Structure 1
Amino acid sequence: MSFQATAFAYLFPGNAMVNSLLATAYISIFPNLLLYFVPPDINTSSLNVLVSFAVGGLLGDVFLHLLPHAFLGEHAEGGEAVHVNEQKNVLIGMGIFGGLFFFFVMDKLMRVFNGGGGAHDHGHHHHHDEKKEDESVVIKKDTNNQEGLRQRKKTNDEKNQEQEQDTKKKDNNEIKLSAYLNLFADFTHNMTDGLAMAASFYASPSVGATTAVAVFFHEIPHEVGDYAILIQSGFSKKRAMMAQFTTAVGAFLGTIIGIIIEQVSRADTSEKDTLVVGEDTGILGTGLHPSDLVIPFTAGGFMYIATVGVIPELLQVTGKIQKDRRQALAEFASMLVGLSLMAVIAWNEGAA
């Protein structure tokens, strides 16, 4: 038995249900514990290198593990031919798109809710500008009355201070709203991770272990990034860590939902196979069951997270050519290392 197989057997010694819960604990608890050692003002360049590594690992898991398994299943023994079912492939493709579309909808809604106060604020400030113009006209007409002028100037100063305080309060509220929306998005993201854990381990122990490794390395920079956002939003270090631990509940919830889907689907499949032997059951007679769409859905979600949610941030440059060049090379290398890690694991699985 190889070192990789031994390590996976040690980390995941139970059945699919137990292993998926164990994996969820690994990917939820340990990355959050690492936040204790992370400085609140972590260097952006260092974080981007970590993120690049995570993107390589996540996309490696998608293209080298999840998608091949979704379309082909586990590798056949003895060079057995794979039966191609075009209708089944269409449903799997729809499942992949469903995962990507779900995250697009969630991302869009988060952005809409986060920026919803912009138009209202603009109109509010415009209203105050009109008031200022009216007051300035009154002051000009009253220039002969020095006492009245001083009184009005004092009143205007007080109003300006109140307006500045209101603006600061609104800015703080918007920052806090952004932080809470980010926590909600993180909760939803973790639910998908939990679904991935359940679906992967029910597919096979090797697929489950590999997905757990990929998600684990993705979660480290992801949690660090969210932690930094919370710190910038005014959270204390302790409160930010507790908030991140709270979002881990989403991962366990997703895992439990995934386990229920798998158990119900397998029980239903077993019952139908007992009643009607030889009939091609499943969605639209393709032999594909709802639980079989969880992995394609997860793959689509991971693709969105890596390509739309993360890579655009890596494309940002400072305008300083030498610095950007070094940073780009570091990110390229880090991403390839992450991909290579998944490739080595996949290769060893095939040889096992």
Structure 2
Amino acid sequence: MEPWLATSLYALAAGLVVSLVALSGAFVLWLPPERLRRWVPNLVALAVGILLGDAFIHLIPDAVARHGDVGGVCLAVLGGLFLFFVLEKWVRWRHDHAPAQGPGSASVQPMARMNLIGDAVHNFIDGILIAGSFWADPWIGTTTTLAIVAHEIPQEIGDVGALIHGGYRPAEAIRYNFYCSLTVLAGIAATLLLGHYAEASLTLLLPMAAGGFIYIAASDFIPALHEPAADTGWGQVPAFALGVGFMQSVVVPEPLIATH
């Protein structure tokens, strides 16, 4: 087998593994409804910690390492915030004006759809990182994939909780979350086809994704946690901190990728 073909197959296999991690939130299907209702706000708080931790601990520092210009990275982060602000305006407009498409569609909140958009963008970036790391060195590709899987598990669990809180039924939340995870394969395919151009796009994609994550966490999820219906006491505080801790404990070796 040609080396380039073997590398491509390894990268696609790694992407498939990362996509399957999205099913880690399926445990909610076996929770009693009352327990699920109590757990969901804490899972949303976990998602907030993971989103903000990913933005400030991984995405922005990685963008600065690649770009070298802090001012330019900050401008791109603001661009991501603005883009997701405009996207939510559009999502809310469609939510208010589009006819209902199904029995539960009217109850799905824009915050849930924004989370799906952000997750899809993040997984696409993960796909670029996976493919680029395998092209650099199969060992770096393997360690990068393991690091991504390690931080995807808590993130996917938090995402499922956020989608349920936003109005999706548990089975729908798991299904749509899995669909979004498939964009990791699109990121790998784009890198295999476009090579250097796809990796160069990370200079802009990383900080813009960070801006999107900050927007979703601060504009949609945190206000939802302050609503009386989501008040589960102080349990949200350690869940928030745990999400940040997960992101701090997993360092994807992107600087190694950038140097190859």
Q: Structures share a fold, TM > 0.5?
A: yes
Q: 2:24 aligns with which of 20, 23, 30?
A: 30
TM-score, normalised by the number of residues in structure 2? 0.70
The one of 219, 225, 242 equivalent to 1:337 is: 242
Structure-2 change in CA distance of 1:85 and 1:334 (3 Å): closer
Alpha-carbon spacing, 1:344–1:188, altered in 2? closer, same or farther (3 Å) = closer
Give me the whole-angstrom Cα distance separating, in 1, the residues matched to 2:188 and 2:77: 20
Maintained 8 Å contact 2:147/2:252: no
Match of 1:105 in 2: 86
SS of the residue corresponding to residue 158 of structure 2 reads: helix
Cα separation, partners in 2 of 1:182 and 1:65, compared to 1, 3 Å: closer
- Equivalent residue in structure 2 for 1:310, among 218, 221, 231: 221
Change (3 A) 1:216 1:40: same
Number of residue pairs the alignment of both structures matches = 238
CA offsets per residue over residues 325-348 of structure 1, 9 Å max, x none? x713x2222211222232233499
**Contact 1:56 1:338 (C-alpha < 8 Å) held by counterparts:** yes
Q: Aligned in 2, Cα 1:297/1:199: closer, same or farther, shift over 3 Å?
A: farther
Superimposed CA distance per residue, residues 107-158 of structure 1 (whole angstroms, 9 cap, x where no aligned partner): 22221222238xxxxxxxxxxxxxxxxxxxxxxxxxxxxxxxxxxxxxxxxx
Is residue 227–residue 241 contact of structure 1 (8 Å, CA) maintained in 2? no
Q: Is the 8 A contact 1:99 1:301 kept in 2?
A: yes
Q: 1:175 Cα deviation (Å)?
A: 5.4
Between stretches 198-207 and 42-51, larger displacement belongs to 198-207
One-letter identity of the residue aligned with 1:38: L
Q: Which residue of 1 aligns with 2:16?
A: 21
Alpha-carbon contact 2:47-2:162 (below 8 Å) kept: no
Q: Does 1:67 align with 2:4?
A: no
1:222 equivalent in alignment to 2:152: no
Contact 1:183 1:247 survives alignment (8 Å): no
Q: 1:153-192, aligned counterparts within 5 Å?
A: 176-179=105-108, 185=114, 187-192=116-121
SS, match of residue 97 in structure 2: coil
Cα shift at 1:261: 3.6
Alignment identity in percent? 21
What is the distance in 1 between the residues matched to 2:63 and 2:178? Answer: 27
The aligned amino acid for 2:213 is F
C-alpha distance in 2 between matches for 1:347 and 1:268: 21
Q: 1:64 to 1:16 in 2, by over 3 A?
A: farther
1:267-346 paired onto structure 2 within 5 Å: 267=196, 289-317=200-228, 327-328=233-234, 330-346=235-251
Structure 2, unmatched stretches of 5+, are: 1-8, 134-139, 256-260
Query: Structure 1 residues 256 and 116 mapped into 2: Cα distance closer, same or farther (>3 Å)?
Result: same
CA distance in 1, matches of 2:245, 2:20: 25
Shift, 1:191, TM fit: 1.9
Shift of 1:71: 0.7
Mapping 1:136-155, distance limit 5 Å: none
Q: Distance between the aligned counterparts of 1:313 and 1:246, measured in 2? A: 21
Q: How far off its partner does 1:68 sit?
A: 1.2
Tell which structure's C-alpha radius of gyration is larger: 1
Give the Cα separation in 1 of the matches to 2:96 and 2:18: 36
* Cα root mean square deviation, aligned: 4.0
2 CA distance for matches of 1:180 and 1:56? 21
Over 3 Å counting, the alpha-carbon distance change for 1:209 and 1:221 in structure 2 is: same
